[in-house]
Amino acid sequence: MAQSVQTHTGETDGRPPGLRGVVADFSSDQRAFKNVSWGKAMMWIFLLSDTFIFGCFLLAYMTARMSTPVPWPNPSEVFALTIGGQEIPLILIAIMTFILISSSGTMAMAVNFGYRRDRRTTAALMLLTAVLGASFVGMQAFEWSKLIAEGVRPWENPWGAAQFGSSFFMITGFHGTHVSFGVLFLLIVARKVWRGDFDTERRGFFTSRKGNYEIVEIMGLYWHFVDLVWVFIFAFFYLW
């Protein structure tokens, strides 16, 4: 028995297919996510908990909007911008959406170049992602100040149901905070990649562990998640 435990069985895992494989993994009394590093698994579990946070925010918004007899302000008009004398509905939000999607694209490519150990391209793409993320936050700041100047407060607004303001500030504020922290996270990892920490196996100043290029993928998971949340906010808050 003790010997068979010691035996390495090689790279194959002998997993049954389908749902039986899932049960086998979870019941094997060891790590359940076998070919996934702990870092990636933990990021996924964090993102799962974050999903519930944003899920509850959107639920609170749905409940507020469904339970008020006062008409909800029309987001298409509220978020319209006048460009060249013409009022274009929702244009700023559309631009922000495209910017965030582009940043997700550059991030996905950074992950790819990371595993090719192309540190300069990886760092450059991560920096580009960070710049796009920062411009997204900038536009959000512009949007907030515009709405505040127009008299939107968490407790009132000039167009309709008072809950509009509180839902708006809560949801976009929390999302913007996520983007801001993501930009910081990106800059930190990009600096490490640029310095070649993962090629020279330099130890982290905090954990004293050797890092590797997987941190780029883990960082990417967080960044894509921020983009994912925006997809839902865009659909439910701005378009609905």
Partner 1 sequence: MEQVAAHAQAQVKEQHQQHPIRLYLVVWGFLFVLSAGSYFVDYVGLQGYLRWFLILLFMILKAGLIVAVFMHMAWERLALVYAILLPPLLVLVFVAMMVSESNYTIFTRMAVSGGAQ
Residues numbered 67 to 86 that lie near partner 1 (CB under 8 A) are 67-70, 76
Nearer to partner 1 among residue 1 and residue 149 (C-beta): 1
Query: How many whole angstroms separate alpha carbon 18 and alpha carbon 131?
Result: 42
Residue 184 touches partner 1, criterion: CB under 8 A? no
Residue from 42, 83, 141, 235 in contact with partner 1 (CB under 8 A): 235
Assess 180 for contact with partner 1 (CB under 8 A).
no
Q: Which two tokens mark 220? A: 């990417």
CB of 237 to partner 1, least distance (A): 11
Angle at 66 between CA 63 and CA 70, to 5 degrees: 120
Closest contact distance (angstroms) between CB of 55 and partner 1 is 4
Kindly state the helix (H) or strand (E) to which residue 124 belongs, with its residue range.
helix 119-149
Distance CA 238, CA 217 (A): 30
Tell me, by CB under 8 A, how many residues bind partner 1.
76
DSSP-based three-state secondary structure for 153: strand
What are the distances in angstroms from CA 217 to CA 93, 175, 207? 28, 21, 19
CA-based nearest residue to 193, from 114, 98, 107, 84: 114
Closer to partner 1 by Cβ: residue 56 or 148: 56
142 binds partner 1 (CB under 8 A): no
Site string for partner 1, 23-42 (x = CB under 8 A): -xxx-xxx-xxxxxx---x-
From the list 46-54, 147-155, 171-179, 192-200, the region that binds partner 1 by CB under 8 A is 46-54
